[in-house]
């Protein structure tokens, strides 16, 4: 739980936790006590600052450092500006006067100016007097035991002022946090090696960014050094000397500890304990990668925080002096005054001095750097990437803000409001380029791209859904041929360690120009491949277009699975004028959108994304927006916001860009250069018509479609699952979202010489054309796409169209035979050659432009439902499900699987039991057009398979056969009705082969098989055969088509009540928030919420159907909740942590339910867990163990009621415990 609890009520057991916590850490901060070493290089002995007792007035002096570093009289913590002694944490160091005065112990007092210390850039303790003069510690007797510590004017030339209070850290092997760089003693010449990481002072190091010396914590006079300048020599300890080039190190962008003056890096050859560390030529290998562990709260992953959308303005300071204000500066990854680390204590630490943290001074005041103090709430900062990209001071609800983007602009803090001048981008230092990032699309697909699910090194590059608003999907190929990720520009695509391997995974690793395995070239002239640079012949390849498929490096072969498109951006022209483009002359918000000459610049290229936003290529966080809801309002650039109705457009078949929330369209009043684009009432005028112009496709509606010439089937077109070589033609919806799949650039015509029939694959030099799958086709031969250039016999490409001018004889034939016509197969999916039949309506075709298809279908009397049996597998009718007839297993369906989407009749097809609701419809074919009844066949709707009984030895009694071979008695099945009672209230049946009424189809959970009907086993043998919607109303509580279920559900996190979800009654006035069956389409409650708009880390909570209908924390409402139109206020933002939903502004309040299924807000700690814990899941992945009884019949309600009564008892105990705790506190 984040934040502070404003009302203190807790169970009794919490009291012990609080008491223990208080006794463990009296200051309430993380203890970080360290020795303070006297670091003079003239001393032969390691001395530390110590006291002889904890009495006030005891003077600080030098003593020989404790060998184990655990003498509490030598350990100190800089707590804010107080220097505390570990032996007595109420004793702090104070100066006794001005210059040459001694330092002694006194009672800690944070208001006493003589106790306010800070660490300067030389790691010495420094204090300021009333006149602003700085004094530093000085050992008056130099390097000797008992030498007193006093203060004198600071000078870098005085060796007696060299104390070390720097922050030390363990340095671990990057891939193994239990193997650390270690010395075994403090002796000079000691060879460094790998040891277990355990916080031992011989494992702790500090890299001084001013001298480049790597100091050892056990004795800061000892530094890591090259034994010689030769490769292969060991790393050892030497007396620190910043003039010795062998001792100078830097931690580079490849995570290497590299010699500052040589191309030599620290390397290990194995991760064994005792492995010696040696210096070898830096090569970017994993055996040279190190990680500074977060000891002391400091992270070595320094970032620049740049103004969002402006790579030239970054957060920085002018010096490391305490009180220096944070301002905007030119971004510079080589300037430590511009780099910051956000550590585990939520402190923003300056790289130039790791004891300087950003601190707010007050509302409306500037932000400055102060000494880091883990207990100071004014230094607690959180960076939020979820919505607002804020640098937020978590204890105050205020954010860093800039009034302008000018150089030197002061940073102040004001209430977080989501405004663009509170937006920052977190970019890893030395990240390379930060613009020009684009989607990389799998060529021939519309919504499959390359991406990652995180920015950690080693993360695999996979097939993901395209999303130009997600930086984990955007890439840039820089001038060094490094493919960089936008989410972290220091992450580059890399093939496996073995460059000679013909198959290895692509991962993201730290970018390195010296790593040849990160070298890539994109070839657009021939194969659209990402090929390894130089002589490498390995290319990116995907084995499937399924989400999550790993990208591998394989031998380049020109295959379609190695082809990628590197952009979705296109010109948007006034229809019919390719010389004028919609564009801007600046990426600044508020820039007017106008007409320009088309010039292929990034200021003229746009992408209409899946959220209906029109994004600018020059800055993909800038989108087209109307300035008001009035007709005639100007259109301008604004920061992209998928929740803003003023930025959401629908592009329709007429070429209009219409705002989703109004009857306003983009319009130009003339086609002159500089013409302002405005939002005007949609009226179908030609000056509201636009067209996309790009070889990338995606928005264009050119091309021709082929569909049956009858009203029953005309909404189904000939198309393909994927525009790629080898794809088979299928019968699919004409209005499929990625319409490239149904649009043909060449088509069968009535010319006597025949014509090619080709689809646009965006390759100017080579198209994909339709041919039969057999050189000598016959009835049943399927049609597929092949490369035009790969066809040796040009006649194979010729087709003929017999346009008879009626609806029955407009057939298509191939040059090989005038007696075979193109038709829809009996499964309603495949397109094949068939014996010509003038009475077959599915052999008669109409061919029109894509834009005219809908109107033509309407004229034929169709366009509404399509009728017919030819459908995608995701359609829910016609066809029946066959599933287990009991509550426990009713979601188990008999399906066919094992084949790719473009060939469901492959030889590897097999029967399987799969989830009727959540299994992928294109992987598991679950619909049957012929089902067991009274001696009938049992055949698939979506493939050419039927089920046949077999008594063959070694078989499970059931197998798949082709439909044309399912002719004998083994292919006939009966359903035998049973009288047993079941909770589904459906007629249970046994499925028996005609061959034997003693044998039944059973399920083992993985596949169906034949078992003796009377066998006493646990294998279900009772089935139900119904439509999908009948099944869903009894088993899965949906009542919806699987394709229609989207968004996320928030359901009660208990087995007994998991069928109940938070929903909004959208028909009531005012709209009501309550519990409802999670998926019941027969009530007024909507339970699906937008996937990106559910409680998470400071997120809005809005409906899937309307992202402007949201839930707000409302103290004026009886239940603490209300339904509002989203405005972006703080009370509309929510957290989801540890299965609890809490409002952003009240971390102690939870969304809860009760026995009556009310939903309301209550103090978290007084409500039992089962009433305040929720599970947020994707709707398509939703599962509930009580399926079939989620409507709560009597037995289920009785069981649930008992559980709830127990919960109420827990609530009573919690309330009692709260009262007891209150009493104890007052006593």
Could you report the per-residue pLDDT of 937-991, keeping only the tens digit for each? 999 988 889 999 998 888 899 999 988 888 888 899 998 877 544 444 456 889 9
CA 72 to CA 208: how far, in whole Å? 26
pLDDT band at 1205 (very low <50, low <70, confident <90, very high): very low
> pLDDT at residue 913 above 90?
yes
Strands (E), 154-241: 163-164, 169-173, 176-182, 193-195, 204-207, 214-216, 222-226, 235-239
Judge contact between 620 and 699, C-beta under 8 A: no
- Candidate from 405-414, 710-719, 1078-1087, 1217-1226 with smallest mean pLDDT: 1217-1226
Written as six digits, the tokens of 423 are: 């937006």
Tell me the angle at which helices 12-24 and 1194-1226 cross, rounded to the nearest 10 degrees: 50
Q: Is 854 left (phi over 0), alpha (psi -120 to 50) or beta?
A: alpha
The per-residue pLDDT for range 207-240, each reduced to its tens digit, is 876 688 898 988 888 899 999 989 999 999 998 8
Q: Under a CB-based contact definition with an 8 Å cutoff, are residues 620 and 568 in contact?
A: no
Q: Are strands 649-651 and 657-659 parallel, antiparallel or unpaired?
A: antiparallel
DSSP code, position 946: E
Q: Return the pLDDT at 661.
A: 64
Q: What is the dihedral of CA 556, 562, 566, 569, to 10 degrees?
A: 150
Q: pLDDT tens-digit profile of 80-135?
A: 678 889 888 889 999 998 888 999 999 988 788 888 887 776 667 888 877 778 88
DSSP 789-824: GG-S-GGGG-EEE---SSSS---EEETTEEEEEEEE
Q: How far apart are CA 528 and CA 505, in angstroms?
A: 19
At residue 366, the 3 state secondary structure works out as: strand
For residue 311, which of 292, 286, 338 has the smallest C-alpha distance? 338
What is the distance between the alpha carbons of residues 271 and 212, in angstroms, rounded to a whole number? 26
Q: Indicate whether 401 pLDDT > 80.
A: yes
Task: Report pLDDT for 129.
Answer: 76
* Coil, strand or helix at 1223: helix
- Cβ neighbours around 965 below 10 Å, total: 10
Owner of token pair 């025949």: 754
Residues 6+ apart with CB under 8 A from 27: 79, 84, 89, 375
For residue 1073, name the pLDDT band (cuts at 50, 70, 90): very high
Model confidence at 752, in pLDDT bands (50, 70, 90)? low
Among 483-497, 802-816, 1000-1014, the minimum mean pLDDT is found in 802-816
pLDDT at 1162 over 90: yes
Angle (nearest 5°) at CA 338 between 332 and 343: 130
| pLDDT of 738 above 80 | no
Report pLDDT for 193. 96
Residue 6 pLDDT: 32
Confidence grade of residue 57 (pLDDT, cut at 50, 70, 90): very high
Task: Write out pLDDT tens, residues 285-328.
Answer: 888 988 877 433 334 467 889 998 787 789 999 888 889 999 99
The angle subtended at Cα 737 by Cα 736 and Cα 740, nearest 5°, is 80
SS3 call for 1136: strand
pLDDT at 1038 over 50: no
Q: What is the DSSP letter of 1031?
A: H
The token duo for 363 is 């509302």
Query: DSSP assignment of 613-627, as one string?
Result: -EEETTEEEEEEEES
Q: Is the pLDDT of residue 654 over 70?
A: no
Which has more pLDDT, 913 or 342?
913
CA distance readout (Å), 1206 to 356, 669, 1213: 53, 70, 11
pLDDT, residue 25, reads 32
Higher model confidence: residue 391 or residue 210?
391
SS3 64: strand
Q: Is 262 helix (H, G, I), strand (E, B) or coil?
A: coil
The pLDDT of residue 934 is above 90? no
Window from 71-75, 675-679, 730-734, 739-743 with minimum mean pLDDT: 739-743
The first and second tokens of residue 1098, run together, are 């400071």
Whether the per-residue pLDDT at 816 is higher than 70: the answer is yes
Among 1115, 1104, 1125, 1114, smallest CA distance to 1062 is for 1104
Phi/psi for 1032 (5° steps) reads: -65, -30
Classify the C-alpha dihedral 170-171-176-178 as positive or negative: negative
Assign 534 a pLDDT band (cuts: 50, 70, 90): low
Higher pLDDT, 749 or 941: 941
Residue whose entry in the numeric block shows the structure tokens 């078949």: 653
Query: Residue 377: its pLDDT value, please?
Result: 79
Which carries the bigger pLDDT value, residue 29 or residue 454? 454
Lowest mean pLDDT among 43-47, 369-373, 1187-1191: 1187-1191
* % of the chain exceeding 70 in pLDDT: 81
Mean pLDDT of 676-688: 85
- Report yes or no: 761 and 807 within 8 Å, Cβ to Cβ: no
pLDDT for res 574: 85
Instruction: Determine the length of the chain.
Output: 1227
Give dist(CA 1210, CA 1203) in Å, integer. 11
Mean pLDDT of the chain: 78
Torsion over CA: 476, 480, 482, 486 (sign)? negative
């Amino acid at each position: 739980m984040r934040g502070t609890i404003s009302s203190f009520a807790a169970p009794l057991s919490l009291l012990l936790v609080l008491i223990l916590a208080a006794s463990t850490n009296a200051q309430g901060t993380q203890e970080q006590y360290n020795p303070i070493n006297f670091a003079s290089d003239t001393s032969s002995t390691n001395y530390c600052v110590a006291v002889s007792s904890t009495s006030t007035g005891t003077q600080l002096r030098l003593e020989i450092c404790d060998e184990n570093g655990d003498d509490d009289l030598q350990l100190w913590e800089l707590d804010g500006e107080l220097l505390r002694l570990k032996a007595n944490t109420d004793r702090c160091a104070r100066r006794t006067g001005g210059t040459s005065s001694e330092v002694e112990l006194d009672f800690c007092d944070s208001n006493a100016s003589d106790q306010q210390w800070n660490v300067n850039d030389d790691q010495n303790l420094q204090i300021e007097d009333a006149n602003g003069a700085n004094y530093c510690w000085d050992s008056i007797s130099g390097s000797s035991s008992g030498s007193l510590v006093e203060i004198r004017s600071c000078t870098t030339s005085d060796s007696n002022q060299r104390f070390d209070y720097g922050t030390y850290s363990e340095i671990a092997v990057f891939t193994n946090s239990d193997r650390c760089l270690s010395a075994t003693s403090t002796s000079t010449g000691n060879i460094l090696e790998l040891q277990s990481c355990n916080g031992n002072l011989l494992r702790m190091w500090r890299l001084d960014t001013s001298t480049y010396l790597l100091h050892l914590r056990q004795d800061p006079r000892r530094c890591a050094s090259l034994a010689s300048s030769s490769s292969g020599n060991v790393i050892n300890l030497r007396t620190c000397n910043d003039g010795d080039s062998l001792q100078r190190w830097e931690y580079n962008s490849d995570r290497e500890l590299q010699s500052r003056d040589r191309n030599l890096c620290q390397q290990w050859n194995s991760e064994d304990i005792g492995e010696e560390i040696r210096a070898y030529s830096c090569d970017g290998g994993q055996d040279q990668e190190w990680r500074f562990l977060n000891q002391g709260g400091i992270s070595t992953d320094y970032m620049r925080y740049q103004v969002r959308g402006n790579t030239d303005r970054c957060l920085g300071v002018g010096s490391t002096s305490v009180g220096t204000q944070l301002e905007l500066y030119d971004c510079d990854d080589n300037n430590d005054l511009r780099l910051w680390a956000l550590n585990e204590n939520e402190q923003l630490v300056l790289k130039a001095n790791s004891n300087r943290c950003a601190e707010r001074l007050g509302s409306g005041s500037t932000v400055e750097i102060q000494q880091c103090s883990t207990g100071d709430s004014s230094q607690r900062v959180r960076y939020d990437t979820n919505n607002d990209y804020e640098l937020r001071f978590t204890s105050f609800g205020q954010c860093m803000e800039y009034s302008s983007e000018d150089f030197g602009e002061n940073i102040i803090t004001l209430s977080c409001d989501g405004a663009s001048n509170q937006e920052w981008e977190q970019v890893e230092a030395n990240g390379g380029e930060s613009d020009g990032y684009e989607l990389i699309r799998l060529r021939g697909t519309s919504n499959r791209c390359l991406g990652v699910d995180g920015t950690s090194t080693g993360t695999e590059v996979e097939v993901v859904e395209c999303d130009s608003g997600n930086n984990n999907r955007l890439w840039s190929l820089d001038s060094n041929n490094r493919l960089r990720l936008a989410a972290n520009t220091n992450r580059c695509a890399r093939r496996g360690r073995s460059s000679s391997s013909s198959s290895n995974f692509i991962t993201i690793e730290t970018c390195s120009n010296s790593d040849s395995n990160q070298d890539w070239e994109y070839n657009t002239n021939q194969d659209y491949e990402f090929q390894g640079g130089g002589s490498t012949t390995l290319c990116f390849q995907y084995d499937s277009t399924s989400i999550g498929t790993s990208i591998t490096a394989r031998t380049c072969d020109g295959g379609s699975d190695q082809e990628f498109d590197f952009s979705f951006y296109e010109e948007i022209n006034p229809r019919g004028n390719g010389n004028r483009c919609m564009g801007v002359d600046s990426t600044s918000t508020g820039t007017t959108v106008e007409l320009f000459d088309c010039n292929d610049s990034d200021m003229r290229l746009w992408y209409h994304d899946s959220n209906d936003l029109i994004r600018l290529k020059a800055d993909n966080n800038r989108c087209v927006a109307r300035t008001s809801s009035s007709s005639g309002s100007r259109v301008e650039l604004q920061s992209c916001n998928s929740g803003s109705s003023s930025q959401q457009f629908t592009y329709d078949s007429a070429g209009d860009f219409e705002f989703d929330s109004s009857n306003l369209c983009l319009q130009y009043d003339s086609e002159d250069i500089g013409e302002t684009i405005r939002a005007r009432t949609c009226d179908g005028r030609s000056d509201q018509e636009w067209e996309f112009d790009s070889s990338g496709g995606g928005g264009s509606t050119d091309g021709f479609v082929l569909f049956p010439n009858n009203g029953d089937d005309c909404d189904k077109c000939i198309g393909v699952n994927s525009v790629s070589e080898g794809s088979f033609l299928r019968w699919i919806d004409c209005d499929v979202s990625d319409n490239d799949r149904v649009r043909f650039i060449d088509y069968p015509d009535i010319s006597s010489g025949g014509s090619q029939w080709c689809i646009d694959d965006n390759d100017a030099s080579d198209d994909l054309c339709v041919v039969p799958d057999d050189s000598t086709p016959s009835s049943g031969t399927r049609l597929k796409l092949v490369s035009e250039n790969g066809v040796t016999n040009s006649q194979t490409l010729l087709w003929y169209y017999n346009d008879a001018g009626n609806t029955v004889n407009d057939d298509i034939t191939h040059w090989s035979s005038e007696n075979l016509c193109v038709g829809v197969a009996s499964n309603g999916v495949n397109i094949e050659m068939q014996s010509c039949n003038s009475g077959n309506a599915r052999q008669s075709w109409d061919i029109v432009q894509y834009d005219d298809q809908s109107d033509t279908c309407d004229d034929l009397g169709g366009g509404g439902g399509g009728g017919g049996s030819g459908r995608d597998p995701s359609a829910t009718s016609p066809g029946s499900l066959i599933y287990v007839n009991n509550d426990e297993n009713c979601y188990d369906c008999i399906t066919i699987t094992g084949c790719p989407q473009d060939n469901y009749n492959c030889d590897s097809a097999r029967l399987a039991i799969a989830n009727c609701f959540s299994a992928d419809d294109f992987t598991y074919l679950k619909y049957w057009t012929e089902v067991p009844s009274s001696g009938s066949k049992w055949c698939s709707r979506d493939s050419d398979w039927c089920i046949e009984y077999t008594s063959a030895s070694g078989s499970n009694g059931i197998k798949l056969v082709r439909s044309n071979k399912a002719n004998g008695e083994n292919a006939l099945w009966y359903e035998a009705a049973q009288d047993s009672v079941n909770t589904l209230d459906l007629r249970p049946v046994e499925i028996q082969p005609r061959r034997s009424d003693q044998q039944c189809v059973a399920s083992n959970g993985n596949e169906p098989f034949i078992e003796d009907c009377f066998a006493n086993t646990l294998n279900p043998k009772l089935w139900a055969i119904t439509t999908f919607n009948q099944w869903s109303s009894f088993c899965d509580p949906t009542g919806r088509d699987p394709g229609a279920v989207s968004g996320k559900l928030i359901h009660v996190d208990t087995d007994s009540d998991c069928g109940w979800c938070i929903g909004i009654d959208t028909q009531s006035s005012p709209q009501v928030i309550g519990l409802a069956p999670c998926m019941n389409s027969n009530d007024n409650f909507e339970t699906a919420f937008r996937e990106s708009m559910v409680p998470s880390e400071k997120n809005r909570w809005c409906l899937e159907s309307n992202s402007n209908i949201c839930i707000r924390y409302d103290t004026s409402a009886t239940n603490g909740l209300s339904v509002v139109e989203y405005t972006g206020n703080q009370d509309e933002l929510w957290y989801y942590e540890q299965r609890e939903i809490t409002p952003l502004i009240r971390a102690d309040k939870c969304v809860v339910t009760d026995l009556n299924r009310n939903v309301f807000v209550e103090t978290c700690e007084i409500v039992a867990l089962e009433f305040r814990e929720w599970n947020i899941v994707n709707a398509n992945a939703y599962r509930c163990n009580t399926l079939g009884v989620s409507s709560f019949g009597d037995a289920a309600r009785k069981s649930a009621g008992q559980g709830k009564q127990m919960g109420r008892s827990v609530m009573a105990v919690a309330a009692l415990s709260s009262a007891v705790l209150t009493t104890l506190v007052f006593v």
